[in-house]
Amino acid sequence: MDLSNSNTANNLEAAFGGESMANRKYLFFAEVTRKLGMSELSKLFKETANQETEHAFAHFRLMHPELVMDDASSLTEEQKKAIASRCLELAIEGETYEYTTMYPGFAAQAKEDRDSKAVAEFEGQQKESQEHAQTFRKAAHNFGLLTNVEQHHARQYTEALQSLEGVNPPEKSAGDNPTIQKWICRQCSMIYDPVAGDPDSGIAPGTPFAEIPDDWHCPICGASKKTFVLYEEAVAA
């Protein structure tokens, strides 16, 4: 579908929002009627909520065709990561808007209206949205870390295959410059690069491994710093 027409794009977003709201509203009604002992009515609300979900999904697919796939098994690992990364980007965008703009604005209005319950609700949701955004950012960061891990594994398998074919493995070295020496986790193969650091854990770019606090842990598997060993790479010819 051509979404170059901004009106159509806006209408799709509005329809997605409406169907999504209907889904949660009907689930709420289902819970209310369940507590009232009206099981058939509760079932009706749940069934309708599921239908509204399908409507919302249909709208969202049109809004984000980059997330639509017919057969996930036919995708490469890089394609799968690209789709998952896009999901994280959209999640971060939404949660960031909620805690930086939406809920602070709502809370300010509630204070003007002297509605203390609404203020508490909005401020609580603002904090939770910030936590969600941070969680999604961490997940996105880990996708980047895992890319390096998988490249490392691919190189290992390539060298193993070449060895079976009688090809000698390339000469490797970790170098002697601590500012660029990489270290690898023996538990999950996460590679610490001092050039990039680990900002999510408070380790600034340019921090040599030796200067990382001893209580630092692997951002992927949680292993301690002592689990890491120098990472040797092929020496350039």
Domain 170-234 has CATH 3.40.50.300: no
- Say whether pLDDT at 64 is over 80: yes
CATH top class, domain 1-63: mainly alpha
- How much is the average pLDDT of 214-234? 89
Euclidean distance between CA atoms 54 and 65, whole angstroms: 16
pLDDT, tens digit, 9 for 90 and up, residues 126-183: 677 666 656 555 655 655 666 676 677 667 767 777 776 777 878 888 888 999 999 9
- How much is the average pLDDT of 100-124? 69
Task: Give residue 39's pLDDT.
Answer: 92
Euclidean distance between CA atoms 231 and 174, whole angstroms: 6
Domain ranges of the chain: 1-63, 66-169, 170-234
Host H or E run for residue 15: helix 6-35
pTM of the model as a whole: 0.50
pLDDT, tens digit, 9 for 90 and up, residues 204-223: 999 999 999 999 998 888 88
Residue with more model confidence, 106 or 197: 197
- The CA-atom distances, in angstroms, between 23 and each of 45, 51, 109, 111 are 9, 8, 27, 30
Q: What angle do CA 165, 166, 170 make, to 5 degrees?
A: 105
Closest residue by Cα to residue 142 from 64, 80, 88, 68? 88
Euclidean distance between CA atoms 119 and 205, whole angstroms: 39
